[in-house]
Amino acid sequence: MTKSRQLEGRSWLVTGASRGIGREICLDLARRGASLELVARDEQALEETAAACRAHEVSATTHPTDLAKPRQRDALILKLTRERGQALHGLVNNAGFSQHGDFAELNESAIREMIAVNLLAPTLLARALLPAMVAAGEGHLMDVASMSGWMPVPRESIYAATKAFLVSHDQSLAEELRDTGVRVTCVAPGLTETDFFARANLDLDSYDLRGFPQGSARDVARAAVEGALAGRRRVIPGFRNRILAFGLRHAPRSWTRRLARRVNARNAGAPES
């Protein structure tokens, strides 16, 4: 088997497969020969991703599901655990969104939905699908977190906290599973060109993003899949993002706070330092 078709005969499930980074992850996996199980709400967009995957001569099955709705999420989990004859080779928890706004004014349903989609769904999917991978002695869990998980992000506090949860959960899980053959990869993209910001009702021009490079969804997807297949525990796509991430994780908290204030100054009228 050529290296480019190294996932021939393997099945991967990708959430948030209808657009953006998730769609590109599906296509990258399909190019490597993986069969795909695709999850998102938008049936038409999901079917378009599936058709693009099938062009690479792999099978692609769609599971239109709103992961914010407990009944739909639980029905998906039941279907995946009861009906599948064999373990998935990979689970990619990529679906996620943010509702931009002052915490004190966020409506309760937006808070519940962010926690449900960004945090609870990945955790419950992993809990349901990992045992079969462990029994098979191989597999990949990939969570798409964010660099937001390492810094204060005013007006995105719930979103950033859900991503910080994934960063923490994955480092514990990777250690817990170290001798099982199952690899855990936490992907922390920086700013990426997708519909994410428009859908979050967030105008990037109202931020001072000097020093924050913007990457393409395709490059993020490639780095994520290559990192996962190489068994890397953490993937930060893009060289400049890796430098920034190093600063965010190792500089004094006062530096991180100042950076967050500078980024938000135009919104908050806050002083730059």
User: Mind telling me the catalytic residues?
Assistant: 159
If one asks whether residue 244 binds ligand NAP (CB under 6 A), the answer comes out as: no
- Report how far residue 153's alpha carbon sits from residue 166's, in angstroms, rounded to the nearest whole number: 16
**73: Cβ–Cβ under 8 A, 6 or more apart, which residues?**
65, 66, 67, 116, 120, 121, 124
CB of 136 to ligand NAP, least distance (A): 26
Helical segments of the chain, H only: 20-31, 43-54, 70-83, 108-115, 121-136, 157-176, 196-199, 217-229, 239-250, 253-268
If one asks whether residue 68 binds ligand NAP (CB under 6 A), the answer comes out as: yes
CA 72 to chain centre: 20
Per CB under 6 A, the list member of 14, 117, 160, 224 interacting with ligand NAP is 117
The pair of structure tokens assigned to 222 is: 């490639």
Q: Within positions 4 to 33, which residues make up the interface with ligand NAP, using CB under 6 A?
A: 16-22
* Binding segment (CB under 6 A) for ligand NAP, from list 36-44, 79-87, 100-108, 249-257: 36-44
Per CB under 6 A, the list member of 27, 36, 40, 119 interacting with ligand NAP is 40
CB of 176 to ligand NAP, least distance (A): 23
Per CB under 6 A, the list member of 7, 13, 67, 225 interacting with ligand NAP is 67
Cβ distance 148 to 159 under 8 Å? yes
Backbone angles phi, psi at 41, to 5 degrees: -90, -40
Binding site for ligand NAP (CB under 6 A): 16-22, 40-42, 45, 65-68, 94-97, 117, 144, 146, 189, 191-192, 194-196, 199, 217
